[in-house]
Homo-oligomer: A and B are copies of this chain.
Amino acid sequence: MISRQSARLVADTPAIADAHFRAEAEPYDPRERPGGYLNLGTAENRLLWDVLRARLGELGAFTAWTEDVARYAPLHGTPVLRERIAALLSATCRTPLDPGHLVVISGATGALDALATALCDPGEAIVVPAPYYGAFDTDLGGRSGARLLPAPLPAATGFRLTAAAVADALDAARRAGITVRAVALSSPSNPVGEVHPPGVLAELLRVARQYDVDLISDEIYAHAVFGERPFTSALDPAVNPDWAERTHLVWGFAKDFALPGLKTGVLHTRNPHVLAATRALAYFAPVSTATQDLFARLLAEPAWVEGFLAEGRRRLAASYRHTAGLLDAHGLPYVPAEAGFSVWLDLRAWLRGPGSPGPDEGFAAEERLRRALFDTARVSILPGGAFRAPEPGWFRLCHTLDAPLVAEAVRRVAGLLGRPADGPPGPALAHVPATPAPADLPPNGGRP
């Protein structure tokens, strides 16, 4: 009826989107719909719309468009937008990026797909430290035909990245006769929120070189860092002295600019073959010139951009501290985050299996808990299984929405969970000090 390649894609479509739209269709409202859903499952930053809206007003009207907006433009991005993105990311990556090495694509998903397709033939593999962004399976494998091999990170350290875990996975693949073409990484990490230390990145790049595989570094949260450790790009010469031509970056406007609806992603590669291939693939997923024009104007004034990103980090930090304080107050353990839109909850103590819990039973119990949270508490948060977590019991909670909504969600989650199955909460991996809602965060998250 339909092709095998598309049937496989339909079967693998991630469930994340489904929970998102079900929750968004009946949203919680304290007056109108007090029993409605709270969607903390989507990594969407809703803390910045007031700033963006004001800026859109300053940028003027649709009539500011010239005929160029209507016409055909290079399908890998307009020159002006690529120039401005290159200027921004050159500072972020601490190395000059050439606009000619950028390929603009309709979403970071498209950029990941283009890189995976450029590097892999069907059946070849990409190693990914796990837990990882759940949509990587589809983004990197859905159209390219590449298979993803998780490199499990240790729960005991809060799933911190180690080059050894990646080397082990590469080694195991080699022994099994699997051709691995690349390692893919979220940096900063999603779902855990770690800012990878320069030393670990340097070691990872040595491993990539040793095994002769490319690195795909998804740096879409590069400016969403609020912890003490600054962000280091995989392309920073300090960590990448000799593997830059085999290192390919992905970035976009969905996270750092809080505009996921505008579907604008970009990749950077210095490899001429990968550049030619990804440009040819961008032909299938170009970005509207109107949206490119908007982003080119948003980036036109570096001072505004710097202020905007700083404000974004400030609000993100405040939202995180508020959420961490709530979790502490309710005795819910989590891994402390330094970046990103989420906290990684440790609900292992609340998993109950009907029988003796083996690993599969554990993930079945995790799914039962997710469903109870969705159906009974009416809170959407995503389970570790969706992120290929090496063990069950972990959940990603996104906090980048109005502070009272986060408070209501944590209250509901804690209420449903009660005391853990095995008595008092197990030892948290680590805790940040409990903090009340900070004074600089208005109750509505700073929006008008």
Which residues of A are in contact with B by a Cβ distance under 8 Å? Answer: 1-7, 9-10, 13, 17, 20-21, 42, 44, 46, 49, 52-53, 56-57, 59-63, 65, 67-75, 106-107, 109-110, 113, 117-122, 124, 138, 142-145, 181, 258-264, 273-274, 276-277, 280-281, 283-291, 294
Contacts and interface: CB of A to CB of B under 8 A. Distances in A.
A438 B9 CA distance: 53
Contacts of A21: 74
Contact of A70 (B73, B74, B258): B258
Nearest to A120: B3
15 contacts: A2-B119, A3-B118, A4-B121, A6-B281, A9-B277, A10-B280, A13-B280, A42-B72, A53-B65, A56-B63, A71-B261, A107-B284, A143-B281, A263-B288, A284-B285
A258 B44 CA distance: 34
A306 to B, nearest CB: 21
In this complex, which of A71, A274, A294 has the most chain B Cβ atoms within 10 angstroms of its Cβ? Answer: A71
A290 B262 contact: yes
A3 B119 contact: yes
A10 B70 contact: no
Contacts of A285: 106-107, 110, 284-285
A49 B67 contact: yes
Contacts of A72: 20, 42, 44, 260-261
Contact of A288 (B75, B264, B273, B277): B264
Contacts of A289: 261-263
A65 B52 CA distance: 11
A277 B106 contact: no
A67 B51 CA distance: 11
Contacts of A144: 3, 5
Contact of A10 (B56, B67, B124, B276): B276
Contact of A7 (B44, B258, B261, B277): B277
Q: State how many copies of this chain the complex holds.
A: 2
Nearest to A45: B70
Nearest to A55: B62
Contact of A261 (B44, B145, B181, B288): B288
A46 B113 CA distance: 34
B291 A288 contact: yes
A255 to B, nearest CB: 12
Contacts of A60: 61-62
A402 to B, nearest CB: 12
A44 B71 CA distance: 7
Contacts of A276: 2, 10
A273 B49 contact: no
Contacts of A284: 107, 109-110, 113, 142-143, 284-285
A281 B8 CA distance: 11
The 8 A-B pairs with the shortest beta carbon distances in the complex, nearest first, are: A261-B289, A6-B277, A285-B285, A61-B61, A288-B291, A56-B62, A57-B63, A106-B106
A3 B118 CA distance: 6
Contacts of A61: 56-57, 60-62
A286 B106 contact: yes
A168 to B, nearest CB: 25
A212 to B, nearest CB: 12
A45 B191 CA distance: 47
A1 B291 contact: no
Contact of A9 (B9, B71, B281): B281
Contacts of A5: 117, 121-122, 144-145
Contacts of A273: 1-2
Given A61-B61, A71-B260, 19 more contacts: A2-B274, A5-B121, A6-B277, A13-B283, A53-B63, A53-B67, A70-B261, A72-B261, A107-B285, A138-B283, A143-B143, A143-B281, A261-B288, A261-B289, A263-B288, A263-B289, A284-B284, A285-B285, A290-B290
Contacts of A121: 3-5
